[in-house]
């Protein structure tokens, strides 16, 4: 069973501050890693699909890095805004395009 | 453009009653389809996935079942619900090239 770990489980950040959190996964047989944002009362939406070691992707104030050799990915948010409050999920593809999700990091931005 | 719909959005069912959640995808053909569940205080757990009509893979032994009677239709069922079946159920389809998931609106099930 593939084990995808996210830390921390929850995080409170002051508006304007930057933050980051981690997704850890087994480094063997890596295929792809996804980051999703899940806002309250909505469905999860994909932020990034990352496939190559050393990948760095950016969307506005949010960016992510990938290290497949050591088995981790970081998600960074620069200058947090209240609309960034959500649960951030990482997921690993395990054969046949089956995605296994971590428990998520619940981010709350305090105004 | 592709869209995904699932229903019902919410339901409250007594223990031992049957369940049927339905999901349909429009605007794409032969998608991979998935059922996920989020139980209270937990992450997204993969229940079933399907790579084609009549092809269902089960991830977790339980009293739920899934069927794919048509290319873009995915149904989650149970003959007798348990209290532990309560949760938020999400249907999703994926882009084959990247595996990126697109989720439906979700169905909140409460078993009493």
B47-52 contact pairs (CB < 8 A, 24+):
B47/B76, B47/B89, B48/B76, B49/A96, B49/A98, B50/B74, B51/A96, B51/A97
> For residue A96, is pLDDT > 70?
no
The residues of chain B scoring below 50 in pLDDT are: none
B96 touches chain A (CB under 8 A): yes
Token output for B96:
């084959």
Give the model's confidence band at A1: pLDDT under 50 very low, under 70 low, under 90 confident, else very high.
low
Give the model's confidence band at A6: pLDDT under 50 very low, under 70 low, under 90 confident, else very high.
very high
Neighboring chain A residues of B59 at a CB cutoff of 8 Å: 98
Specify the pLDDT at position B36.
Answer: 95
Q: Is B101 within 8 Å of A100 when comparing Cβ atoms?
A: no
Work out the minimum CA distance from A111 to partner chain B, whole angstroms: 25
> For residue A94, is pLDDT > 80?
no
Among A97, A100, A101, most B C-beta atoms within 10 A, so best to mutate, is A97
């Amino acid at each position: 069973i593939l084990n995808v770990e996210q830390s921390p489980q929850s995080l409170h950040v002051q508006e304007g501050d930057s933050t980051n959190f981690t997704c850890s996964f087994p480094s063997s047989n890596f295929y792809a890693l996804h980051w999703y944002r899940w806002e309250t009362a909505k469905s999860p939406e994909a932020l990034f699909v990352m496939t190559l070691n050393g990948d760095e992707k950016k969307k506005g104030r949010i960016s992510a890095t990938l290290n497949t050799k050591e088995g981790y990915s970081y998600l960074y948010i620069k200058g947090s805004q209240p609309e960034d409050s959500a649960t951030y999920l990482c997921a690993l593809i395990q054969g046949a395009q089956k995605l296994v999700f971590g428990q998520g990091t619940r981010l709350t931005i305090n105004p | 453009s592709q869209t995904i719909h699932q229903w019902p959005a919410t339901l409250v069912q007594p223990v031992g009653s049957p369940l049927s959640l339905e999901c349909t995808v429009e605007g794409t053909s032969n998608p991979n389809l998935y059922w996920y569940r989020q139980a209270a205080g937990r992450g997204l757990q993969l229940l079933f996935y399907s790579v084609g009509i009549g092809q269902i893979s089960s991830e977790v032994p339980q009293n739920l079942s899934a069927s794919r009677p048509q290319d873009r239709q995915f149904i989650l069922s149970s003959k007798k619900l348990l209290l532990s079946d309560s949760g938020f159920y999400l249907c999703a389809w994926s882009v084959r090239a990247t595996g990126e998931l697109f989720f439906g609106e979700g169905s909140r099930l409460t078993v009493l």
